[in-house]
Structure 1
Amino acid sequence: MHTVETVLLVLMLGALTGIAARYVRAIPLPLIQIVLGALLSWPQKGLHIAFDPELFLLLFIPPLLFADGWRIPKREFFALYKPILKLALGLVLFTVIGLGYLIHWLIPEIPLTVAFALAAVVSPTDAVAVSAITRNLGMPAQTMHVLEGESLLNDASGLVALKFAVAATLTGLFSWTDVAKDFMWMALGGLGAGALIGWGFAVARDTVTRRLGDVAATQMVLLLVLLPFAAYIVGERIGVSGILAAVAAGITTNFADLSRSEFVAERLQTEGTWAMVESGFNGAIFLLLGLQLPSIIGVTLQEAGHRWWMLAGYALAISTALLALRWIWLTLGVQGSLWKAHREGKMAEKPSHLLTLATTLAGIRGAVTLAGALSVPLLLHNGQPFPSRDLLIFLATGTILFTLVIGSVGLPLVLRRMPPPGEPESAHEERHARLVACKAAIAAMALVKEQAEAADPLWLAQYQESAGRLTQEYRRRIDLLEEPSQLATAEAHTDAPDAVLQRRQRYVVELELRLKSLHVERDALYAERHAHRINDESLRSLVAELDLSEISLRKRLEVARRTLAPDPMPMPEKDPQNTE
């Protein structure tokens, strides 16, 4: 099959499986996509795709890691840097050494350096897989931030460890000094290169859009989508981590976006574009992973013959040991940092055995592990086959499947036993920010004495009437957001909480009525177009206004309904594949 046809087919299947997953909620989407990919390639005349690890890392990984770096809350990321670094660096080293010796002891036919290479391949968790599996499962917010931060950074440490393990196998030479130097260069150089590229793009974008405004929004969004590829390519060309360069570019771009509040069209297009990119590329990654499984398993089992059950046992033992090492490191090496973060208020959830178990099961491996395994060279410098290469790929694939399944099955069971987290701190902060914004808007409408005296009397009367209506609207929103006890104290009424509740209920009814009216307006506009009384251009323009209003109304209605709930629960994180 032609490459273009293959790409189109994979993207189409990714979209279709995303729709199917809405009806089969019990099975995580990544597992559905892996199984479908395996079924498509299993028959002799099935879909077979030559997997190029370098091309795969270039096409699919940079935009997804860039998007994760762009979206991850930076305040929590930097506040929890100690446990994140301990997992991203310390756990990788602990896994490579501990699991490497265990693999060599368990399977003596695998040389020690190759065992270290296999341990390095399976050491990094996969940011895409972690997000896909844990999304909407109720994972505590700060723990999810730690997992995301770990996944963003440990790819580089795992791939660096793989590089030196392969080099030691090829040359027979190994130096801890060289490893440390090269790792520092690749990690710090990758972060620096990505930050510099992100900053340069931000400066250029700001220079252009300050002059042109939102007219160039579409072109800027296209350049933003290409930015992670540029960061990755530049990083790889100068010999640093392209993965970390893409992550750093995403983080830097997010910081630059904080000074671009007035560019509405660009912001809306960016959100929609990244939602589509993440949905399509996520599906493509897991489908491609499934497409490789039959050939990998078939080749290895054909060579093993009747020993296939031993290979399956090895994969199970290595996967179990991998999670056991993760649990040990979390318990002994990271628990102290988590407790300290909890005492300092940086982490709301208290560390516990169940939380440690959930974090252990969330150590899911994915596409980066497969790409790393397939990147192992075929031959040594002397022309001999790379020792145990097929077995390494098979065991890495088994680890991916095991962690995906155990995470999909075990995580919901563990999280169900954990105490409900209640309303997250971010909900309180969001409510406070809404209050501040409403009060600032009210204060901005007040005219100072000099302005009122100098104003035209007719204009002043119209202004005061309009400001009064708008102030009343903001007051209703403030009533909705403030706690009933606060309003009771402010109004000095014993029945204030009941009165506030009634006002909130009326406000919800009003918002629902406004939303229904918007739907009626939109239906009327489409009826006008069907009757050929307006053209398509007018229809798109008018409907776009209603769509923006509906987005605002839906969000306000969601907040209003949440304030009426007796025990507000945390809202699920936004699913980039869900457009509802």
Structure 2
Amino acid sequence: MHSILPFLLAMIVVILLLEMLAAKLRIAYPILLVIAGLMISFIPGLPVVKIDPDLIFFIFLPPLLFEAAWSISFKEMKKWWRIIGSFAFLVVFFTAFSVAFITNYFVPGFTIALGFLLGGIVSPPDAVSTGAITKFVKIPNSTSTILEGESLLNDASSLIIFRFALVAVGTGQFIWQEATMSFLWMVIGGAGIGLLLGWLFVQAHKRLPTDAPSDIILTLIEPYFMYWIAEKVHSSGVLAVVAGGLFMSTRRLLFLNSTSRVRGFSVWESFVFILNGIVFFIIGLQLPEVVSGLRSEGISLNTAIGYGVLVTGVLIASRMISSYAAMIATMIFRPGVVPHARSNRRRFLMPLLLGWTGMRGVVSLAAALAIPITLNGEAFPHRNLILFITFVVILLTLVVQGLTLPYIIGRSKLFDAFSEEPEKEVKRKLNDGLRKHSYQFLKNKYDNELHDHAGLQRMLKHWEEKMEADDDDWMNEKTKLIFIEMLDSQRNYLSELNKDPSINEEFIRQQLFRIDLEEERLKMI
């Protein structure tokens, strides 16, 4: 343990440096992580890091899915549930089906069951990768919601395929009646267990005398409980985490205070970032062993790369076909929800662009690593090839699609053609509404006390001025810079004041935290 600890710490430092470099280059950090994972496989003498395949899902998936469920807007998901549902389930099944039959035809010794196993692994686009890439370009909120919602739910459907394919590979048969009943129990039972546990956890937060640290620790533990209990009764742990996470995220204002929310956001963002980086590095550390296993099976590196390119092409083609099918079906059955474009040509270009957004990432890696090493006492068939193909798929989709997607969106100006209320206008309406609401709240509820209380009078005057002022008059860019400079001056003052031994440092820290919150608030204006 002592020998590998410095290496693990160095790995985390490298992950952080890569994230900084990605921000400097204005590219998505998963792109650099997957490249680093490839490069690390060429470094000789690195320790071999092995994790029990049975623990891969349990360690990495629950927190990643839980955080994704908290990040997405459930209200927007309901608005676009038809297209999200079709991409999350129908498209995943179609993609896995395509991969299964293509690999069965072109890869010697690859059965249909193994093809479905590989299809279940590589079919789900990655929410983290998609979000990291699209943050550098301007896309409509509706498109962003569809991509995030699809990436959240398709993890569940693809991993259900993965589990059934594992059973089929192990037993050599697939009984449709049993599979249907098992599938229904996995979906209904998983979602039900997640909702029930989500409700129990909300009650625990509300009724127990928790503070911010205990709230955050509980949220870190909860996804693991959801996943473990659902898996114990042979339902879908993934769906349990997704359903429970969505349930709790919609009620966060009811059981978490502002301190827990502010601190919890930073903790979860850092935690998920490190998990993503570690998974990419683990596969990089295992690549030499995987390549050695391929050669022992008589499969050359060039041949394996060719299979990876073939599967990547199938994934991209399947997604594009599905995008056009979804667009046509929506135009026929639900024409009212089709985004309004300036021309039919632009409208039919959008599915092409959506088809180019299917970057794969950490969920596919975790699923591939979770394949058991042995099956019925013998080596799992083509495990090394499946791992290698998965890595090639992730590498190609992240590097090729990930690097070109922002350029294509920016150059084509495709999303500029779709009518959606400008973000600035929406924020202006929200700010105006908040000002009027705050002013009316004070006037209606505390009107009798306003004349006798100087503090309330100043508060009312404050909101009167904000309500009457234009956004640019109240806080334009120049005023914001001056305000932030003033906050920095306050920090310096408090730091100097802290040198006085008679002043409790805890009070200083509380004031510094308040200043940090004020600066964060300014950045949101």
Task: Give the structure-1-normalised TM-score.
Answer: 0.81
Q: Give the partner amino acid of 1:399.
A: V
Gaps of at least 5 residues in structure 1 are 481-500, 557-580
Which of 324, 329, 354 does residue 336 from structure 1 map onto? 329
Displacement, 1:324?
A: 0.5
The change in CA–CA distance for 1:137 and 1:293 in structure 2 (over 3 A counts) is: farther
> Does 1:277 find its partner at 2:277?
no
In 1, distance between residues paired with 2:68 and 2:477? 35
Which of 422, 438, 441 does residue 441 from structure 1 map onto? 438
In 1, distance between residues paired with 2:513 and 2:168? 60
Contact 1:83 1:338 in 2 (8 A): no
In 2, distance between residues paired with 1:371 and 1:255? 28
> Does 1:415 find its partner at 2:406?
no
Contact 1:315 1:399 in 2 (8 A): yes
Name the residue aligned to 2:429. Answer: 432
Contact 2:279 2:365 in 1 (8 A): no
* 1:186-219 Cα shifts (integer Å, max 9, x gaps): 12211111111111110121123xxx5xx62221
The change in CA–CA distance for 1:278 and 1:476 in structure 2 (over 3 A counts) is: farther
In 2, distance between residues paired with 1:544 and 1:94? 51
Name the residue aligned to 1:39. Answer: 39
> Does 1:286 find its partner at 2:255?
no
Name the residue aligned to 1:576. Answer: none
Q: Give the partner amino acid of 1:327.
A: M
Name the residue aligned to 1:470. Answer: 462
Displacement, 1:77?
A: 0.7
In 2, distance between residues paired with 1:256 and 1:24? 37
Name the residue aligned to 1:365. Answer: 360
Name the residue aligned to 1:575. Answer: none
SS in structure 2 opposite 1:169? helix
Equivalent residues, number: 518
Q: Give the partner amino acid of 2:201.
A: F
In 2, distance between residues paired with 1:87 and 1:356? 12
Q: Give the partner amino acid of 1:432.
A: K
Determine what percentage of the aligned residue pairs are the same residue. 27
In 1, distance between residues paired with 2:308 and 2:478? 58
Please show how residues 67-86 of structure 1 align to structure 2 within 5 Å.
Answer: 67-86=67-86
In 2, distance between residues paired with 1:293 and 1:13? 18
Displacement, 1:74?
A: 0.9
The change in CA–CA distance for 1:183 and 1:447 in structure 2 (over 3 A counts) is: closer
Name the residue aligned to 1:402. Answer: 396
* 1:367-419 Cα shifts (integer Å, max 9, x gaps): 322333333344454x5544333323222222222222222223123212133
Q: Give the partner amino acid of 2:336.
A: R
Displacement, 1:43?
A: 3.2
Which of 302, 308, 314 does residue 301 from structure 2 map onto? 308
In 1, distance between residues paired with 2:375 and 2:486? 71
In 2, distance between residues paired with 1:434 and 1:258? 20
SS in structure 2 opposite 1:50? coil
Displacement, 1:227?
A: 0.9
In 2, distance between residues paired with 1:121 and 1:165? 10
Contact 2:280 2:365 in 1 (8 A): no
Q: Give the partner amino acid of 2:13.
A: M
Q: Give the partner amino acid of 2:11.
A: V
> Does 1:540 find its partner at 2:509?
yes
Task: Give the structure-2-normalised TM-score.
Answer: 0.88
In 1, distance between residues paired with 2:120 and 2:420? 39
Name the residue aligned to 2:314. Answer: 321
* 1:32-61 Cα shifts (integer Å, max 9, x gaps): 223333333433312321143332221222
Contact 1:34 1:289 in 2 (8 A): no
* 1:526-572 Cα shifts (integer Å, max 9, x gaps): 1223465745323212322322232333333xxxxxxxxxxxxxxxx
In 1, distance between residues paired with 2:456 and 2:496? 39
Name the residue aligned to 1:201. Answer: 201
Contact 2:95 2:123 in 1 (8 A): yes
Contact 1:72 1:148 in 2 (8 A): yes
Gaps of at least 5 residues in structure 2 are none
Q: Give the partner amino acid of 2:94.
A: F
Q: Give the partner amino acid of 1:246.
A: V
Contact 2:195 2:240 in 1 (8 A): yes
In 2, distance between residues paired with 1:375 and 1:471? 57
